[in-house]
């Protein structure tokens, strides 16, 4: 066990087993932030160039088509603000929503309310509940902190499948300002289809026949062969989350759901109960630390907010009844899963998976050669 330490600049601490500190007590995330920001966020004087390129590519790709880009929507602040900005740039997006059975009523209301006012068409893909439920239970039983991978992987697969089908650019709502820090130990393996299949085979009871997914080969095909353009619009503007919330509330009557990603009932339960209770991870630390580095929150404000309870007693009691029941588990079965010793991605992932980046160029060359035959 490491001696407890917390960064002197942000609020990341030794609950992340991979964290490191320099002689001044500053963590590796803070030290790496300037370099990473340069990689993902254009300088203010360059942003117009990126926005113009995005607009030009979308309009060219969408010429003669009903849409000129694909966006994902969840009902949360990031994706909702993205929908507004895309329309503001004169684009014609198709909004895509993945219904995994856990949407809060508030999230659904936000999606329909805002998209109606923006005149954006919505495509909703409803997951096969029995398949998806089996996969969620499998990840719970695997005892890794990766319980949201079944949803995250399916969203990425669905969006890229549709972008490829319509040959349209994909505009993402993820943003560096609020997501700069994402400790790997807290969740990893999102892109690893072999890992997902193995967990499902070991602990699930359904074959994944209808579940949207992609392999590393498919990912390389989309990125290198099909060359679907992808843009991160919120990185090209001065995106301040609290300002975006106020704007959406005033303009569209959008309603705040409380915290990051809490538009999903299961995500809220995963982040606010499963992760801290079983693994000792409080994802607010990563989120608040990202905002501190983006100068959208002070460290003192973050420390105060971290003292707030993750759940009200009443809502936690309600979710501890509702969520296991919806998954087809008794409370005793769920509690037994929570008592199992924690494991990690590396307990299940194939050994060669971690080396896949070194194979990228070789796989690409093989696919290209086959395509040219």
pLDDT in tens, 171-195: 999 999 999 999 999 999 999 999 9
User: Per-residue DSSP letters for 253-307?
Assistant: -----SSTTTTBHHHHHIIIIIIIIII---THHHHHHHHHHTTSS-HHHHHHHHT
Per-residue model confidence (pLDDT) at position 352? 57
DSSP run (H or E) holding 366? helix 356-372
Q: Is 266 exposed, middle or buried (0-12, 13-18, 19+ CB in 10 A)?
A: buried
Radius of gyration of the chain (CA): 21
| Antiparallel, parallel or unpaired: β 170-171 and 121-126 | unpaired
| pLDDT above 90 for 238 | yes
Write down how long the chain is.
373
Q: What is the predicted pLDDT for the residue at 360?
A: 45
Across the range 314-343, mean pLDDT stands at 97
Three-class SS of residue 143?
A: coil
Chain centre distance of CA 80: 15
Q: Cα–Cα distance between 118 and 318 in angstroms, integer? A: 35
Tens of pLDDT, residues 30-58? 999 999 999 999 999 999 999 999 999 99
Distance CA 180, CA 173 (A): 14
Comparing C-alpha atoms, which of 82, 167, 155, 81 is closest to residue 123?
155
d(CA 259, CA 315): 15
Q: Domains of the chain, with CATH numbers? A: 46-279+311-347 (3.40.50)
Which pLDDT does position 42 carry in this prediction? 95
Whole-angstrom distance, CA of residue 24 vs CA of residue 155: 40
Per-residue pLDDT at 359: 46
Judge whether residue 373 has pLDDT over 60.
Answer: no
CB 193 within 8 A of CB 349: no
Global confidence as pTM: 0.91
- Residue 227 clears pLDDT 50, i.e. is over it: yes
Which residue has better confidence, 261 or 86?
86
CA distances (Å), origin 83, targets 47, 230, 248, 331, 363: 19, 15, 11, 40, 35
Distance CA 124, CA 147 (A): 22
């Amino acid at each position: 066990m490491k001696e407890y330490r917390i960064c002197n600049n942000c609020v990341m601490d030794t609950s992340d087993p991979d964290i490191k500190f320099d002689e001044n007590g500053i963590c590796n995330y803070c030290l790496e932030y300037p370099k990473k920001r340069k990689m993902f966020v254009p300088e203010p004087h360059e942003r117009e160039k990126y926005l113009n390129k995005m607009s030009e590519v979308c309009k060219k790709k969408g010429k003669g088509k009903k849409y000129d880009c694909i966006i994902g929507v969840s009902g949360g602040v990031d994706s909702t603000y993205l929908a507004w900005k895309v329309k503001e740039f004169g684009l014609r997006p198709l909004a895509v929503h993945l219904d995994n059975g856990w949407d809060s009523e508030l999230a659904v209301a936000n999606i329909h309310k805002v998209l109606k006012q923006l005149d954006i068409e919505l495509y909703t893909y409803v997951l096969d509940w029995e398949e998806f439920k089996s996969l969620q239970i499998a990840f719970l039983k695997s005892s890794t902190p990766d319980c949201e991978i079944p949803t995250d992987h399916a969203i990425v697969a669905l969006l890229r499948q549709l972008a490829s089908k319509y040959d349209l650019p994909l505009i993402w709502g993820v943003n560096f300002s609020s997501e700069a820090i994402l400790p790997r130990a807290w969740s990893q393996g999102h892109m690893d289809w072999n890992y997902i299949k193995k967990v499902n085979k070991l602990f699930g009871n359904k074959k994944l026949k209808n579940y949207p997914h992609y392999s590393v080969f498919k990912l390389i095909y989309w990125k290198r062969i099909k060359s679907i353009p992808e843009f991160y619009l919120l990185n090209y503007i001065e995106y301040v989350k609290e300002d975006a919330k106020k704007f959406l509330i005033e303009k569209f009557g959008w309603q705040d759901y409380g915290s990051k990603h809490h538009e999903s009932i299961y995500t809220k339960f995963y982040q606010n109960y499963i992760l801290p209770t079983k693994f000792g991870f409080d994802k607010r630390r990563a989120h608040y630390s990202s905002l501190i580095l983006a100068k959208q929150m002070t460290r003192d404000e973050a420390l105060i907010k971290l003292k707030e309870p993750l759940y009200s007693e009443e809502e936690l009691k309600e979710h501890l009844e509702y969520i296991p029941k919806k998954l087809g588990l008794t409370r005793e079965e769920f509690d037994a899963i929570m008592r199992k010793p924690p494991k990690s991605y590396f307990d299940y992932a194939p050994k060669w998976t971690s080396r896949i980046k070194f194979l990228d160029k070789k796989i690409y060359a093989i696919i290209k050669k086959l395509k040219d035959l």
